Amino acid sequence: MTRQALSRKIINTCLEMTRLGLNQGTAGNVSVRYKEGMLITPTGMPYELMTEESIVYVDNNGVYEKGKLPSSEWLFHLAVYQARLDCNAVIHNHAKHCAAVSILEKDIPAIHYMIAVSGTDHIPCVPYATFGTSQLAQYVKEGIKESKAILLSHHGLIAAETNLDKALWLAHEVEILAEWYMKLLATNQPIPLLSKANMVAVLEKFKSYGLRIEEK
């Protein structure tokens, strides 16, 4: 895909993220792996105002185009691409239920077999660090090796996948799981979890299940 087409796709993903209720205001950011770096949304710009020209190229050394300012979270986007060679798209948001679970500093455990969309048996919550810092990027780098979706304590969600459509799908699935988890926690009842063996069986089945969401 050309840079122009990828940039349009990034903006459409941002708009769809808002339409799905996964984000508010200028929170969140989206990137795709591109050449020797990535294309990423600019910092602090409402998604509706973005044009293809607003999208910023940042190389693997963190050097970006003159006259443009990339997302304040470019460090953790690069960290994901370094940690996961299987992932080409990264979405970050402040989805309501993901953020709520992250404020409790909790992982989302195996409450439902769809947890396996993360590629493992839980959605980890990585420690808190100030947004935009190398400390946060370091926590993200460790967490994302374990799972394609992670919660950032007192902040939100990161979802990484092979393409933007899949990353958006993953972010949506995790928000639903987070909503169920918050509702379960509110019952004050013990929460039964699927066993390791249950989750291993689902993870195995997912390897051949029709989860292929190709680029539109």
Nearer to ligand LSKVBQAA, 108 or 129 (CB): 129
Binding-site residue set for Zn(2+): 73, 92, 94, 155
Interface pattern 56-95 for ligand LSKVBQAA (x via CB under 6 A)? ---------------xxx------------------x---
* DSSP 8-state assignment for residue 115: G
Stretch of residues binding ligand LSKVBQAA (CB under 6 A), selected from 40-48, 97-105, 109-117, 168-176: 40-48
CB of 110 to ligand LSKVBQAA, least distance (A): 28
Binding-site residue set for substrate: 28-29, 43-44, 71-72
Nearer to ligand LSKVBQAA, 34 or 74 (CB): 74
Name every residue whose Cβ is closer than 8 Å to that of residue 165 and which is 6 or more positions away in sequence.
13, 213, 214, 215, 216
CB of 26 to ligand LSKVBQAA, least distance (A): 5
167-172 contacts at long range (C-beta below 8 A, 24 or more positions apart):
167/13, 167/87, 167/89, 167/90, 167/91, 168/13, 168/16, 168/17, 168/20, 168/91, 169/213, 170/91, 170/117, 170/118, 171/17, 171/22, 171/91, 171/93, 171/95, 172/20, 172/22
Dist. CA 115–CA 45, nearest whole Å: 32
The verdict on 29 binding ligand LSKVBQAA (CB under 6 A) reads yes
Binding-site residue set: 28-29, 43-44, 71-73, 92, 94, 155
Q: How far is CA 185 from CA 66, 102, 109, in A?
A: 48, 13, 12
Point out the catalytic residue in the list 16, 36, 65, 73: 73
Dist. CA 49–CA 26, nearest whole Å: 11
Nearer to ligand LSKVBQAA, 129 or 199 (CB): 129
175 is catalytic: no
* Interacting residue ranges for ligand LSKVBQAA, rule: CB under 6 A: 26-29, 41, 43-44, 71-73, 92, 131
